[in-house]
Amino acid sequence: MGWRSIYRYNMKNKNIIRLVNSLILLPAMTTMSVPAIGNNIQNTQVPQVALFQQQNIEAPVLFAFNQEEDEKLKTLKAQGEAIDAYFKKYDMPLEGTGLKMAEEADKNDLDWRLVAAISVRESTGGKFACKKVKNSFLGWGSCKISFDSKEQAIEVVSKNLGGNNPKTAHHYDGKTVKQILQKYNPPSVVEKYADQVMKIMSDIGPEDITTITTTQAEA
């Protein structure tokens, strides 16, 4: 399943989870008005399961969602920890932003290591961020765009690289990691930029990471 398919699937799951959580707050039997014989209206007790059935949600699936959501959160946490471990290893100021990078990658259908690796290539993880503007450690806008916070910088760049900004989507939407990087910093400017960033991504961790061990963090 591709990144975009996974994201759409997860968004569907989140919507169903919100429905389930809201129904949990209701009594076991929910009162609702239904037409009786003739024009009279009467209150009828309808089990919650009927409400689930109206939403075409199968009972076994309902109880799997929370478990799936827990697994997703664990994966995001592991990804964030792996990014922060890399930053910490090289004493980079962006340590602590790992989870934010992982969350924005998930939201924008990106490889979870991409933005972190770009930050390392562009500013050595924030050590040499552009001084002319604030929080410009990703090279976005060639040191001409300022951000209110590190988090905002991560959000904006992730959204663009994921093809979710209409103004830049023609550059990034539906592209592979290498294609994204070649648009971000073309070979005509830095010949091996894409390869350099992808090497850093590999150093940060495997694409399908689900847990991080002490050995990985110290490697």
Domain positions in the chain? 3-57, 73-218
Contact between residue 85 and residue 74 where contact means Cβ atoms under 8 Å apart: no
What is the dotted CATH code of the domain comprising 73-218?
A: 1.10.530
Question: Residue 110 and residue 103: Cα distance in Å, rounded?
Answer: 10
Q: Length of the chain, please?
A: 219
Contact between residue 41 and residue 33 where contact means Cβ atoms under 8 Å apart: yes
- At residue 68, the pLDDT reads 83
DSSP state of 47: E
- At residue 201, the pLDDT reads 98
- At residue 51, the pLDDT reads 52
What is the C-alpha radius of gyration for the chain, rounded to an integer number of angstroms? 23
- At residue 66, the pLDDT reads 80
Residue 14, token pair as written in the block = 């989140």
The gap between the terminal CA atoms of the chain, to the nearest Å, is 30
- At residue 69, the pLDDT reads 84
DSSP state of 136: B
Dihedral sign, CA of 127, 79, 81, 89? negative
Give the type of residue at 21: N
- Tokens 């290893």 correspond to 89
Instruction: Assign 137 to helix, strand or coil.
Output: coil
In SS3 terms, 158-191 reads as: HHHHCCCCCCCHHHHCCCCHHHHHHHHCCCCCCC
Residue 103, token pair as written in the block = 């969350």
Contact between residue 98 and residue 109 where contact means Cβ atoms under 8 Å apart: no
From first to last of its 219 residues, the chain has per-residue pLDDT tens of 444 444 444 555 555 555 545 544 444 434 444 444 444 545 555 455 555 555 565 556 555 668 888 899 999 999 999 999 999 999 999 999 999 999 999 999 999 999 999 999 999 999 999 999 999 999 999 999 999 999 999 999 999 999 999 999 999 999 999 999 999 999 999 999 999 999 999 999 999 997 765 445 555
Q: Which of 170, 178, 168, 172 is nearest to 145 (CA)?
A: 168
Could you tell me what percentage of the chain is helix, strand and coil, using 3-state DSSP and rounding each to the nearest 5? 55, 5, 35
Contact between residue 143 and residue 136 where contact means Cβ atoms under 8 Å apart: yes
